[in-house]
């Protein structure tokens, strides 16, 4: 299956962000993509998360998600994008990935678990963490996709939980904060999550200056494909369930592991 990576340069103009996603989805669909993934905070983004995020937050049946569902329908693709979801608290929102099918129906919604309280940032001041740490996956085009957001990439147990839940392609939708060594860390972590779980990792990132760019698709052997630079752009690349299965046969880590993801040994293995 061919999928698209849409590297945006989102800002505070929601209409402009939606228009960019519409253009990129059209371009990816023209190249045969059946699913297009966009970054964290695709619909609304600033250099620092502040009170305005809660102010613009909407429910998943609000105007932003209706527009995203329409883009998916219009171009006949599945679409995944970061939105600011109303949480029920007036001062905090959810940082949510919403996935829509080609019919416009909601396939899945993932609320970010690990908030970016690092490098002097305090995302949790204005963003509410997911109430559940259960992995979120959805099936589309003969593949199972797992969802995670940005800082989640630094927590390998979440990626392992997604692979245990059946994920063959991990969508790591991100707005990776710039800084010393950050591009190297971004590329290293996407490759590590792919290798240790025998799955594709699609790291879809916001472009500079807010983020680092370098969106990339890493295959289950850790080989990068379709790496973008720092410009806002879209690229398409093939992903295959057969490739995942072949790599997992070659490296049967899930059958061989002796430690439970949450601690202790697996039954009958020690």
150 catalytically annotated? yes
Query: Phi and psi at residue 123, in whole multiples of 5°?
Result: -60, -35
In the chain, domain spans: 2-256
- For residues 116-129, one letter each, b for 16 or more C-beta atoms within 10 angstroms of the residue's C-beta and e for the rest, the string is beeeeeebeebbbb
Band the pLDDT of 264: cuts 50, 70, 90.
low
Q: Is 247 within 8 Å of 163 (Cβ atoms)?
A: no
CA distance 56 to 16: 15
* Homologous superfamily of the 2-256 domain (CATH): Carbon-nitrogen hydrolase (3.60.110.10)
When pLDDT is cut at 50, 70 and 90, the band that residue 262 belongs to is: low
Nearest alpha-carbon partner for 77 in 65, 68, 86, 64 = 68
**Contact predicate 199/163, CB 8 Å:** yes
**How far apart are alpha carbons 165 and 260 in whole angstroms?**
14
pLDDT bucket at 260, cuts 50 / 70 / 90: low
Structure tokens at 263: 């601690």
Q: Please, which pLDDT band fits residue 269 given cuts at 50, 70 and 90? A: very low
Radius of gyration of the chain (CA): 17
Q: What are the pLDDT digits (tens) for 64-111?
A: 999 999 999 999 999 999 999 999 999 999 999 999 999 999 999 999
Q: Is 40 a catalytic residue?
A: yes
Exactly one of 58, 112, 123, 128 is catalytic; which is it? 112
**What per-residue confidence (pLDDT) applies to 270?**
36
pLDDT value of position 142: 97
d(CA 201, CA 227): 12
On the question of a cis peptide bond just before residue 209, with omega within 30 degrees of 0, the verdict is yes
Q: What is the pLDDT of residue 205?
A: 98
- Of the candidates 40, 45, 85, 123, the residue annotated as catalytic is 40
Phi, psi of 94 (to 5 degrees): -95, 140
Average pLDDT over the chain reads 95
Edge to edge, the sheet with strand 2-7 lists 106-111, 92-100, 78-89, 35-37, 2-7, 233-238
Catalytic residue from among 65, 150, 173, 205 = 150
Per-residue pLDDT tens digits for 210-226: 999 999 999 999 999 99
DSSP bridge pairs for 89: 92
Question: Structure pTM?
Answer: 0.94
Judge whether 173 counts as a catalytic residue: no
């Amino acid at each position: 299956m061919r999928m698209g990576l849409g590297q945006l340069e989102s800002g505070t103009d929601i209409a402009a962000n939606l228009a960019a996603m519409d253009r990129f989805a059209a371009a990816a669909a023209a190249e045969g993509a059946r699913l297009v993934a966009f970054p964290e905070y695709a619909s609304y983004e600033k250099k620092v998360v502040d009170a305005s995020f809660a102010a613009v937050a909407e429910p998943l049946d609000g105007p932003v998600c209706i527009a995203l569902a329409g883009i998916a329908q219009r171009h006949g693709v599945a679409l995944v994008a970061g939105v600011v979801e109303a949480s029920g608290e007036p001062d905090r929102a959810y940082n949510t990935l919403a996935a829509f099918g080609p019919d416009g129906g909601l396939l899945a919604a993932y609320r970010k678990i690990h908030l970016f309280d690092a490098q002097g940032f305090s995302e949790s001041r204005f963003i509410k963490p997911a109430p559940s740490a259960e992995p979120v996956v959805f099936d589309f085009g003969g593949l199972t996709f797992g969802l995670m957001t940005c800082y989640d990439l630094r927590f390998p147990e979440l990626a392992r939980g997604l692979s245990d839940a059946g994920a063959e392609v991990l969508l790591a939708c991100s707005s990776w904060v710039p800084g010393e060594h950050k591009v190297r860390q971004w590329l290293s972590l996407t490759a590590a999550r792919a290798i240790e779980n025998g799955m594709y990792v699609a790291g879809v990132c916001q472009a500079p200056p807010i983020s680092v760019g370098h969106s990339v698709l890493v295959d289950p052997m850790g080989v990068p494909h379709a790496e973008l630079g720092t410009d806002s752009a879209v690229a398409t690349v093939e992903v295959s369930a057969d490739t995942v299965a072949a790599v997992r046969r070659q490296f049967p880590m899930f059958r061989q592991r002796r430690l439970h993801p949450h601690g202790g040994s697996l039954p009958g293995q020690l």
